[in-house]
Structure 1
Amino acid sequence: MHLQLRGVTKRYGRVMALADFSLELPPGRIVAVIGLNGAGKTTLLRCLSGIVAPTRGEVRFDGQPFQRRQLDQRQRLMFLPDFPALFAGMNALQHIALVLRTYERDDPGVDDRILAALRDLDLLPLAEAPLETLSRGQLYKVAFSALLAVAPELWLLDEPFASGLDPQGLAIVKQRARESAAAGATIIYSTQILEIAERFCDLLCVIDHGRLRESFTREQLAALPPTGPDSLEARLRQFREPAA
Structure 2
Amino acid sequence: MSTAAEISPRRMARLAGFFYILMLPIGMIPMLVGRVPITSDAAATAAAIVAHPAAFYTGFLADILIVAVYIPVTALLYRLFAPVDRALSLTAAFFSLVGCADQAFACLFRVAPMTVLTSVPASRAFSRAAIETLVQFLLNFYKLGYGIALVFFGVYLILIGTLIVRSTFMPRLLGILVMLAGVSGLTFLWPPLSQSLWPRQALCFVIGEGSLVLWLLIRGVDAERWHALARGTAVD
User: What is the TM-score when the length of structure 2 is the normalising length?
Assistant: 0.27
Q: Which has the larger radius of gyration?
A: 2
Q: Which has the higher strand share?
A: 1
User: What is the TM-score when the length of structure 1 is the normalising length?
Assistant: 0.26
